[in-house]
Structure 1
Amino acid sequence: MAALSATRVATSGTVPAYSSASAGGDTAPVGGGLKLHVSNGSGSAITVTLVTPGTLDGLAIGDAALVVPAGGHGFVPLTAVYRDPVTGRANITYSSVTSVNVAVISD
């Protein structure tokens, strides 16, 4: 499991730092203006899951799942709803990590 860090997008533009998705999952900071960018270079679709640790009236809130098509890209806003109460970070898992790269981007 890797701890991803955010790359701030400058007014003049920015090339974010990408990391290979970790087989055991990754963690990322959460907060306003943060987004997870997933680049799927594999030949099959993958599912990216963000754990939603909260409850509503005692009922668990379902985890967020994003299907990223083969050769495609996807974005997920890293809002406070994904904040793990122990670590303060989002927990992210992937159905496959082959040829999958991720970056956290900050406005």
Structure 2
Amino acid sequence: MVGSYAVPGVMYLQSLGFDRNQFVQAMGMLFLGSTIALALTLSGNNLMTQEMGLTSLWATAPAFLGFFAGQAIRKRLSESLFRKLFYTGLLILGLFIVARPVFSG
């Protein structure tokens, strides 16, 4: 098992050769399904309270704003530029995750 479903999931979806719209839709379905499974597992093991769940639900508002902004930007990008920007963003995120513990401790 891995601690993150994003890396293996996104890499698998990328290998299927979807165009950018299908790719983003498939990632959305992957993240939605994984998040629902995680929420059910956490609440089933009494590790997430109802209050925490409601707070998390309210925290999705910025995600929806990002969704609509990303959709508008994605329509203006070519397929190749979209992929370059997407994978560059993943690389930067990965470097941040690796570097954060090194520089904070």
Task: Tell me the TM-score normalised to structure 2 length.
Answer: 0.24
Comparing both structures, which one devotes a greater share of its residues to helix? 2
Comparing both structures, which one devotes a greater share of its residues to strand? 1
Task: Tell me the TM-score normalised to structure 1 length.
Answer: 0.24
| RCO higher in structure (CA 8 A, sep ≥6) | 1
Larger radius of gyration: 2
